[in-house]
Amino acid sequence: MAERSLELLKGTLDVLILKTLSTAPMHGYGVSRWLRETTGEDFKVEEGALYPALRRLEKKGLVESEWGETDTGREAKFYRLTAQGRGALETELRTWHRYVQAMGKVLGAPSRG
């Protein structure tokens, strides 16, 4: 059976974006490329879906944006994590770790049969 690419869990995209931006401020395309490279193309995302998500995060005050120029001199909108966004990311990460641990205990337990 061929390995399936992982479907993105609902709401996970936001966390991924926050995590990505926590390394450095970057433009939308940068976020998309970083995700692609880091996950080794495991996540299949329509690249466009990133943008409404970014803007929603901006509306929530988790990221802020400003227009700037890329290394190649192209105009692009850059996003950066706000203090509030950093806090939100930490909360999400803690939750995620607890979740993984709990799942690990259950799924890692020896199967009977």
Partner 1 sequence: MQDGRKGRGIFPRYSVEEDVERELRAHVELRVEELVRAGWDPAAAREESLRLFGDRDRVARECRAVTSSHRRAVGRAKRMEAIWQDVRYALRALRKSPAFTAVAVLTLALGIGANTAIFSVVNGVLLRPLPFDRPDELVWLREARRQGGTMAVAWANFRDWREQSRSFEGLAAYGSGSTTVLGGEEPVWASTAAVSQDFWTVFPVSPVAGRLTNVDDHREGAAPVTVVSRSFARDALGMEDPVGRMLENRGVRMEIVGVLPDDFAYPTGTEVWAPVELTPQGLDRSAHNWRVIGRLRNGVSVDAAGAEIDDMTRRLVGDAPADEADYLAVGATVQPLRDQIVGDSGRGLLLLLGAAGFVLLVACTNLASTLLARGTVRGRELSVRAALGASRGRIIRQLLAESGVLAVAGAAAGVAVAALVVRALRTLGATSIPRVDEIHIDGAVLGFTLALAMTTAVVFGLLPALRSSGDTSADQLRAGSRGNAAFNRVTWSTLVASEVALALMLLIGSGLLIRSFTAVLSQDAGFDGGDVALTTLAPSGTKYPDLEAHRVFWDGLLERMRSIPGATAATVMSARPVQGGAPNGRIALDGDPDKFGDALYVLADRQAFDVLDVPLLQGRVWDERDGPDAPHTVVVSQSFVDAFWPNEDPIGRLVSGGGMDDYWSADPVAFGTVIGVVGDVRFGALTREAEPTVYWSYRQRPFRIRYGGMLLVESGTGDPALVASAMRAEIRQADPDIAVRLSYLSDLVSDSVSERRFVLLVLGGFALLGLVLAAVGIYGVVSYAVARRTREMGIRLALGAAPGDVRRLVLGGGLRPVVLGLVVGIAAASVLTRVMQGMLYEIRASDPVTFASVVLILLATGWIASLVPALRSTRVDPMITMRAE
Residues that bind partner 1 (CB under 8 A): 25, 27-29, 32-33, 46-49, 51-52, 55-56, 58-59, 64-70, 72, 74-78, 80
Smallest gap from residue 20 Cβ to partner 1 (A):
15
Is the Cβ of residue 54 or residue 89 nearer to partner 1 in the bound state?
54
Are residues 6 and 42 in contact, defined by beta-carbon separation less than 8 angstroms? yes
Q: For the range 94-99, what are the long-range contacts, defined as Cβ-Cβ under 8 Å and sequence gap of 24 or more?
A: 96/15
Is the Cβ of residue 40 or residue 108 nearer to partner 1 in the bound state?
40
Is the Cβ of residue 65 or residue 93 nearer to partner 1 in the bound state?
65
- Dist CA 13 CA 19 (whole Å): 10
Helix (H) or strand (E) holding 64: strand 63-69
Smallest gap from residue 34 Cβ to partner 1 (A):
13
Are residues 77 and 28 in contact, defined by beta-carbon separation less than 8 angstroms? yes
Smallest gap from residue 22 Cβ to partner 1 (A):
16
